[in-house]
Amino acid sequence: MDWTDDSEDDDNISWESDEEAKPENSGPPPATNLPTVEQEDHTGPSRVSPADPSRSKLISHFVGMGFVEDMVTKVIDENGERDVNTLLETLLTYKVIGTSTSSPRPSNNKKKGPDDDFSDISSVDFSDADYVENEIEEEDISEEDRKLLTLVEMGFSTDEAASAVGRCGQNASILELADSIHAAQLAEGVEGPEEEFPWTCWSEDESTTSFIFGASTDKKRIRRWSDIDRRKRMKMYSQGSRNEDDEDLPSLSLPNPMIGFGLPNGRPLLTHRKLPEAAMGPPYFYYENVALAPRGVWDTISRFLYDIEPEFVDSKFFCAAARKRGYIHNLPIHNRFPLLPLPPRTIFEAFPMTKKWWPSWDTRTHLNCLQTCTASAKLTERIRSALADSDDPPSHNTRQFVINECRKWNLVWVGLHKVAPLEPDEIEMLLGFPRNHTRGGGSSRTERYKSLGNSFQVDTVAYHLSVLKDMFPNGITMLSLFSGIGGAEVALHRLGIHLKAVVSVEISEVNRNIVRSWWEQTNQTGTLIDIADVQQLNGDKLEQLIHTFGGFDLVVGGSPCNNLAGSNRVSRDGLEGKHSALFYDYFRILDLVKNIMGKES
């Protein structure tokens, strides 16, 4: 499966285009810049030339993040100070290059040449003489030492790094070593030495680079994810430099591209995080809502949900339709795997019949977010007549009109000059549900659109939940809040995870019927209990349920987005809105479950 065929998209992966547009980025060599213990003697602003205030501020900022000053200086020299985002990307790229030389791939750790090491970072020019020179220098460091250095850079102690190499052998990859240390920490029940979230890496695929946040060897300099500093970094990461006055505003920024902690087939998938003590299970939990909520909403949600950083993912990387969502969960994030078969990932793959009628000037390869409303017949007729009356190809204005409406309403081409909204069963397919999942059972067409528009994208959610399969070979007991049409249930079922018991809370009777009907049709052998209102789920009721089922393994829920979604022109009131305030019920119930289960164990 090729996860890179988006490259012709207009929403190119930003670092690709950035790097390609800047061949001069081939600058500083990676190897000598591998952070080492010497790094601890680097200082802040004092060593920075005061000649240029903005420059020295920039340098000390990056140095404070754990980059070596020489490397920072060099990167600024080459890129200028204008685009902080580019600077950070470049610095991180060099860091990753350095890391990758010391971490052979798990499947291929034979002798390797430079090409092997860097083939996945094609956008950087390695013909640079500096690079060759430093590759030679790097040969002087033993393989084991390089791994130790990398682990230390990731925030582990030298003792832990050495023990991990001892346990896993010298041929183990960095990822395996990091996992081993993490597992050892969990087994011992001790707080990790480097606070939570020592580093995070988003990696994509063979043609892209990876990002690492906050790597540093200095314990005191490690930034807690929950600190305000992370906002600064996220802000820089996603938007470049901003007004300093904004820094106190509690506002998380969205990553671009929106790929969460990594995608299927991402290579190498260097993901590892340490959660705050209070966030850890049991039970595991998984919370979802729209990514583009009003300012401050995700900060609040994150603060309530034990300060876990949201994972923002756009489902366009999983299927043919976009769906930008934030997920907060305490699940492990390594060894994820996608649902099979992989769903169609472009419009043409999903709807081959449309290709015949698709005009060349409609360059869409993905649909936008599937919503609860669809275009009217009147609009599609306006489009048809506009095209029928115009030349071939149509004028710029006509094309623009048609394209805008097609994007806005997710229209597809079904005939000459003829566009149409998706049918409910087509949306079911895009979202990963079985065909006719919402059909029948007293569900009207409008209700189907509404239920589907409010649902999970199953493949995306399943990818995150896939880590549960090995952990619960005998199946799981789940509390599903705001179940809707059962996206989480379908995801777990498709993953082959047995559902021992599901307590489903859903206000809509139509949706409850859909889930019940699906449950019966898939011959589930477990128990399904449905409850209409989250308000009914008080401490007594939960205690009773937990007693009956021996606790919950997983608490899933996507609370209502009505007052958060951008489409809402009337009552986009944020988390305090009538519907979206139900988030607090999610938190209340999750916290109750944690407390009750904590007592019983």
Partner DNA sequence: CACAGTATGACAGGCACG
Partner DNA sequence: CGTGCCTGTCATACTGTG
Q: Which of 109, 372, 517, 524 binds DNA (CB under 7 A)?
A: 372
Q: Which of 347, 561, 582, 590 binds DNA (CB under 7 A)?
A: 561
Q: Rounded to 5 degrees, what angle do the CA atoms 370, 372, 376 make?
A: 95
Tell me the three state secondary structure of residue 351: coil
CB of 532: closest distance to DNA in angstroms?
17
CB of 87: closest distance to DNA in angstroms?
13
167 forms part of the interface with DNA (CB under 7 A)? no
Number of residues that bind DNA (CB under 7 A): 58
Q: Which of 243, 474, 523, 525 binds DNA (CB under 7 A)?
A: 243
Q: Which of 511, 590, 501 is nearest to 549 (CA)?
A: 501
Residue 180, token pair as written in the block = 């081993």
The length of the chain, given as a count of residues? 601
185 forms part of the interface with DNA (CB under 7 A)? no
Contact 195, 274 (CB under 8 A): yes
CB of 598: closest distance to DNA in angstroms?
28
57 forms part of the interface with DNA (CB under 7 A)? no
Residue 334, token pair as written in the block = 């390594």
379 forms part of the interface with DNA (CB under 7 A)? yes
68 forms part of the interface with DNA (CB under 7 A)? no
294 forms part of the interface with DNA (CB under 7 A)? yes
Task: Indicate left, alpha or beta for 408 from its phi (over 0: left) and psi (-120 to 50: alpha).
Answer: alpha
Residue 561 is among the residues annotated as catalytic for this protein: yes
Contact 151, 160 (CB under 8 A): yes
300 forms part of the interface with DNA (CB under 7 A)? no
Q: Choose the binding region for DNA from 87-95, 161-169, 208-216, 402-410 (rule: CB under 7 A).
A: 402-410
Tell me the three state secondary structure of residue 418: strand
CB burial of 367-399 (b: ≥16 within 10 Å; e: otherwise) equals bbbbbbebbeeebbeebbebbeeeeeebeeebb
- The Cα-based distances of 530 to 95, 287, 442 in angstroms read 51, 19, 18
Q: Which of 71, 152, 291, 590 binds DNA (CB under 7 A)?
A: 291
373 forms part of the interface with DNA (CB under 7 A)? yes
Q: Which of residues 432-461 bind DNA (CB under 7 A)?
A: 442, 444-447, 453-455
Which residue is catalytic, options 201, 369, 406, 561?
561
**201 burial via Cβ count (<10 Å: 0-12, 13-18, 19+):** buried
Q: Which of 159, 244, 391, 540 binds DNA (CB under 7 A)?
A: 244
Q: Which residues contact 589 (CB under 8 A, 6 or more apart)?
A: 479, 481, 534, 537, 542, 555
Q: Which of 292, 333, 342, 592 binds DNA (CB under 7 A)?
A: 292
249 forms part of the interface with DNA (CB under 7 A)? no
Q: What CA–CA distance (Å, rounded) separates 545 from 542?
A: 5
Closer residue to DNA in complex, CB, 31/490? 490
Identify how many contiguous H helices and E strands the chain contains and give both numbers: 22, 11
Q: Which residues bind DNA (CB under 7 A)?
A: 14, 82, 238-239, 241-244, 251, 253-254, 256, 288-292, 294-295, 322-325, 368-369, 371-373, 376-379, 404, 407-408, 442, 444-447, 453-455, 558-562, 564-572, 579
Positions annotated as catalytic residues are 561
